[in-house]
Chains A and B, each alone.
Chain A
């Protein structure tokens, strides 16, 4: 037995905490990311979209990444840790791809899987798992973000039908979706609806001029007396708790994904620092640079351990929403900090799209905000430890 030694890319030996299966899933997701995302992502980001998104969705379906932690209906039926590792590897490519997977699998598919009727599940889940149908999830509105409970979009009964009216904002995948899960206020409280995007009265103009998640489609949903049959309602989704439970699923993936973005930034900075020479030696040889690299590595590994801890709890059925808030708060915040530090280490090259760093940094500004802002998760944890709610 040789003496234990550390490897720079796995300082804590976290790999040893993974099973062979988990490592194989991670390797497949990593290969996917390297082959199908990395070569083109800078161009997609710069041009503000993925022209081949339908094909890429099909490839993600073939990989098994869409709804991968759900059972049945053509879903891969893997564990929460497998799902997390996949989010990490995809987001190491770009947050836009992980966002696509989160929205498709954890928001849209999960909503149908958990709250849908047998017909809704049969109609949508297999096609969505294969990436042949794309879903979006409309909760946020132009005037209601952190406080979705005060949403204005309404659904009212008209005979046996429902009529939906209102507007949603910042909806990932909106303009390319085949189906939208729309949350609306009714006389009986908040309800969810499965809305085929070809329904008359539904439109989804894209939101332009984003400087973050540029490879991802973000849209408004305009609902102008959209007439839906009674069967479009998600039968068991009663109240705001339903969409929040979906967000909790997606947020869990973000806990892992953010670490992927940070890992790419860290690896880029590390390799840059060891090859970039100033004052006659590699900049990695300066104490100030080493302090930065070490801080990045420490935060990265802590974040990964945290993600894995939450993943094991999720698989054991003991993961509380507040714990997901803990992970989302810490990992998005520290991932962004890691990217910013990496940005500085690359000097002028740090602001160029020729390196992945500023792209990840800009992306993480969205990741910090969506699925509950830093402030919201701080207040969730504040309430958990003080017993006093400070939201309003």
Chain B
């Protein structure tokens, strides 16, 4: 059984993020890159499946600039077996459609029974990757999983939606996106870090995947960020004193910020 886990390198939630004024893409030099926390749940779930199934290989896959190797390394030090890094200058500014194209090609090339990933990325927060990958790969998808069980080629997933908890079943191969509540990711140990150094790691370019550079990257993106304004600095605070209607006024305030 081969489990491919997609991991993304994102700006550390603890550091300040900003867009590069030149092309309105994320300024990756401005913030420390880390493995997307949501993806660590997918890595953990893969490792738990491997432990329970015994005979499984966990391959972690990242598309991203050179720095994304660090995220792969972290996944390897948690216990994943192999890492594949898709790195190509032409990928800069790729949107979700292009990303899913590239990842799907790589996943096909690696070979897989199960693809695991976080339910969304903590930076872009699109939440569409699992669906797009399943579509491109032509396999079933189970998103927002809070539980995953594999028995032979049958897959059972507990899905948490805002309306209900669902039990869904599918036949492998399949794509599953996981929620935070699915597990508690292990932290890497020093021994894991040292062991990671001797695990196989490979890099793939667009050419290796047979993808034309013109179909990915900023120029090929379906949407374009025209302009951006940094959120105003804190300080302009509204203080609501409760004269009996504070609840309603807080709701109005949130609605005016489109937070409700």
**Given A2-B29, A275-B234, A282-B235; A28-B197 close (CB under 8 Å):** no
Within the complex, what minimum Cβ distance (angstroms) separates A90 from chain B? 13
Contact among A2, A76, A275 with B190 in the assembled complex (CB-CB below 8 Å): A76
A25 near B190 (CB under 8 angstroms)?
A: yes
**Given A27-B74, A275-B234, A282-B235; A64-B191 close (CB under 8 Å):** yes
B190, B192, B197, B234 interface centre (most CB from chain A within 10 Å): B190
A21, A32, A275 interface centre (most CB from chain B within 10 Å): A21
A82 at the interface (CB under 8 A from B): yes
A68 at the interface (CB under 8 A from B): yes
- List B contacts of A28 (CB < 8 A): 77, 187-190, 192-193
**Given A24-B73, A275-B234, A277-B235; A31-B190 close (CB under 8 Å):** no
- List A contacts of B29 (CB < 8 A): 2
Bound form: Cα–Cα A64–B190 in Å: 5
**Given A21-B197, A27-B74; A63-B235 close (CB under 8 Å):** no
Contact with B along A29-45 (1 / 0, CB 8 A): 00110010000000000
Bound form: Cα–Cα A332–B74 in Å: 32
**Given A27-B74, A277-B235; A21-B189 close (CB under 8 Å):** no
- List A contacts of B77 (CB < 8 A): 24, 28
Contact among A35, A76, A78 with B187 in the assembled complex (CB-CB below 8 Å): A35
Bound form: Cα–Cα A65–B193 in Å: 13
A62 at the interface (CB under 8 A from B): yes
Interface of B: prevailing SS:
helix
Query: For chain B residues 188-224, which have a beta carbon within 8 Å of chain A?
Result: 188-194, 196-197
Bound form: Cα–Cα A76–B193 in Å: 10
Question: Which residue of chain A is the closest to B14 with respect to CB atoms?
Answer: A34
Contact with B along A281-292 (1 / 0, CB 8 A): 010000000000
- List A contacts of B190 (CB < 8 A): 25, 28, 63-65, 68, 76, 78, 82
Query: For chain B residues 171-196, which have a beta carbon within 8 Å of chain A?
Result: 187-194, 196
- List A contacts of B192 (CB < 8 A): 28
Within the complex, what minimum Cβ distance (angstroms) separates B213 from chain A? 24
Query: For chain B residues 8-57, which have a beta carbon within 8 Å of chain A?
Result: 29
B191 near A76 (CB under 8 angstroms)?
A: yes
- List B contacts of A65 (CB < 8 A): 190
Bound form: Cα–Cα A223–B189 in Å: 38
Query: For chain A residues 2-34, which have a beta carbon within 8 Å of chain B?
Result: 2, 20-21, 24-25, 27-28, 31-32
- List B contacts of A31 (CB < 8 A): 187-188
Bound form: Cα–Cα A68–B193 in Å: 13
Contact among B187, B193, B234 with A25 in the assembled complex (CB-CB below 8 Å): B193
- List A contacts of B73 (CB < 8 A): 20, 24
Question: Which residue of chain A is the closest to B188 with respect to CB atoms?
Answer: A28
Contact with B along A49-91 (1 / 0, CB 8 A): 0000000000000111100100000001010001000000000
- List B contacts of A63 (CB < 8 A): 187, 189-190
Bound form: Cα–Cα A78–B188 in Å: 15
Bound form: Cα–Cα A35–B185 in Å: 11
> Told that A24-B193, A35-B187, A76-B194 touch, could you supply 17 new A-B pairs with CB distance under 8 A?
A20-B73, A21-B193, A21-B197, A24-B77, A27-B74, A27-B188, A28-B77, A28-B187, A28-B192, A28-B193, A63-B187, A64-B190, A76-B190, A76-B191, A78-B194, A82-B190, A282-B235
Q: Using a CB–CB distance below 8 Å, which chain A residues touch chain B?
A: 2, 20-21, 24-25, 27-28, 31-32, 35, 62-65, 68, 76, 78, 82, 275, 277, 282
**27 sample A-B contacts, Cβ–Cβ < 8 Å, listed by A number:** A2-B29, A21-B193, A21-B197, A24-B73, A24-B196, A25-B190, A25-B193, A27-B188, A28-B77, A28-B187, A28-B188, A28-B192, A31-B187, A31-B188, A32-B187, A63-B187, A63-B189, A64-B189, A64-B191, A65-B190, A68-B190, A76-B190, A76-B191, A76-B194, A78-B190, A275-B234, A277-B235
